[in-house]
Structure 1
Amino acid sequence: MPIEEPEELRRILKYDRVAVVGASTAYEKAAHIVPAYLQRHGYEIRPVNPTASEIFGERAFESLTDVETPIDIVEIFRPSGEVPEIVEEALDRDDVEVIWMQPGTGNDEAARAAESGGLDVVQGRCMKVEHGQLIRNPMD
C-alpha cells in the first residue's frame, strides 16, 4: 500500500540520494523544476535521461542501471506504462529504498511489485510539495 502518512513521508524525505528518471532539460517542466528544487535543498540528484548529457550540472545517465553511485529514492517522471520496467531496474539494484511516482505516473501493478520487493512506494504525490510541507514547514 503506498505511503501516505506524514510521519512516513518525513522518514522517506530524509534519504538524500535521488535518481530522477525522466529528468528534463526544459526549465518549465515539472521534471526539471522539482529535482532542481530538491538539489537546492541538499539532495544529491542523479538525472536519468538518455537524450541529455548533463542536467542540473550533473552527468545524465541513459538508464537507472547506468547510475554508478548509490541511490536511495527513484523518482519517476515517465508515462505510467513505462513504470514497471523502471521498477524492475530499481529492484535489480541493492541500494534503492523508495519508488516515488510523481502525480500522473502512477502504476498500481508496479507499486505492488516494488512493495513485494521490499521497497517503500509513494504514488501520486509531488516530492517538492511534500518536502515543502513536511520538512521546510513541518506543521501538518
Structure 2
Amino acid sequence: MVPQSVRELLERKARIAVVGASADPSKYGHIIPRYLERRGYPVLRVNPAHDRVGEAACHATVADLPEAPAIVDFVVPPRVALAVVEGLPDTLDAVLWFQPGSFDAAVVAAAEARGGVVVAGPCIMVEARD
C-alpha cells in the first residue's frame, strides 16, 4: 500500500532517484527512469558502474547526487539494496521505495530503522500512471 503522503509526492512530480539505473533497455533499471521522465518526473540515476546512462548523468551513490530526491526507488537485488540503505546519508529525508524483487525482511527492517517512509512491493510505474 502506498501512503497518501507518497501519492502527493507523485502528484507533484517530485524528484526521484533510481538506484540500479541501467543502459540495458531490457532492464527495469532502464525502463523505470525513462517511464518516469516521459511522465514529467525529474529523475536522477544511481549506479557505481556507470558515469552516464544514455544522455543522462549517472552517480555512484545517493550521497553523490547533485540534488536531494524526494523518493529513492530501488531496482537492485536485496543484498545490494541493503548495502545502499546502510550507506545512505543520515540527512537524507526521502521515501525509500523498493520495487518487487528488490527487498527482503532485512532490507525493510534497515529502511524502517531510518525512521522515514518505506514503500515495499508496489511498482512505481503503476502508481505513477497519469
Aligned to 2:34: 36
One-letter code aligned to 1:79: P
Residue 21 of structure 1 contacts residue 49 of structure 1 at CA under 8 Å; is this kept in 2? yes
Give per-residue Cα distances to partners, 1:27-69, cap 9 Å, x unaligned.
1211111111111112111111122221253211112222131
Residue 36 of structure 1 contacts residue 56 of structure 1 at CA under 8 Å; is this kept in 2? no
Aligned to 1:82: 80
2:40 partner SS: coil
Residue 16 of structure 2 contacts residue 41 of structure 2 at CA under 8 Å; is this kept in 1? yes
Aligned to 2:100: 103
**Alpha-carbon separation, structure 2, partners of 1:125 and 1:56:** 27
Q: What's the TM-score, normalizing by structure 1?
A: 0.80
Aligned to 1:112: 109
Alpha-carbon distance change, 98 to 56 in structure 1, aligned in 2, over 3 angstroms: farther
One-letter code aligned to 2:125: K
Give per-residue Cα distances to partners, 1:11-30, cap 9 Å, x unaligned.
34246111111111111211
1:37 partner SS: helix
Structure 1 position 9, deviation (Å): 4.5
Q: What's the TM-score, normalizing by structure 2?
A: 0.86
CA RMSD of aligned residues (A): 1.9
Aligned to 1:64: 62
Matched, 1:11 2:11: no
Residue 21 of structure 1 contacts residue 74 of structure 1 at CA under 8 Å; is this kept in 2? yes
Residue 54 of structure 1 contacts residue 60 of structure 1 at CA under 8 Å; is this kept in 2? yes
**Alpha-carbon separation, structure 2, partners of 1:53 and 1:126:** 26
Listed as ranges, the gaps of 5+ residues in structure 2 are: none
Structure 1 position 5, deviation (Å): 4.5
**Alpha-carbon separation, structure 1, partners of 2:9 and 2:113:** 18
2:126 partner SS: helix
Residue 17 of structure 1 contacts residue 71 of structure 1 at CA under 8 Å; is this kept in 2? yes
Listed as ranges, the gaps of 5+ residues in structure 1 are: none
